[in-house]
């Protein structure tokens, strides 16, 4: 749908960014750990943060893919709760929003 070509491109670009971020995180998580227990404790805490960031990125990827699928099937921009259109300003800020501002509140 030509109406959402710009948003589709933004979503595709965001998907690439998130995929690159996950690749980077995975690389960091696979890097060798220190043998000293103090350094290892610090690295383990860092790994927990990285895993949390990875989880957040994976969740956003799922939202972006769902939005792209909605663009393809013609249901993009419809609130999943009330069926009314999601405002253009809201979609500009959160292009994978699934609810209008009224239902999201």
Residue keyed to tokens 């690439």:
16
Q: What is the pTM of this model?
A: 0.77
The Cα 90–Cα 105 span in angstroms is 13
Confidence class for position 63, pLDDT limits 50, 70, 90 = very high
| CB distance 86 to 76 below 8 Å | no
Percentage of the chain beyond pLDDT 90 is 61
Instruction: Give me the mean pLDDT over the 49-70 stretch.
Output: 92
């Amino acid at each position: 749908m030509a109406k959402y070509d710009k948003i589709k491109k933004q979503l595709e670009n965001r998907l690439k960014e998130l995929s690159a971020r996950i690749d980077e995180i995975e690389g960091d998580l696979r890097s060798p750990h220190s043998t000293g227990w103090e350094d290892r404790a610090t690295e383990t805490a860092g790994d927990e943060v990285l895993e949390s960031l990875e989880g957040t990125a994976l969740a956003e990827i799922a939202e972006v893919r769902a939005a792209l699928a909605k663009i393809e099937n013609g249901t993009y921009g419809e609130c999943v709760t009330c069926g009314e259109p999601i405002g253009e300003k809201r979609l500009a800020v959160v292009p994978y929003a699934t609810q209008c501002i009224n239902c999201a509140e």
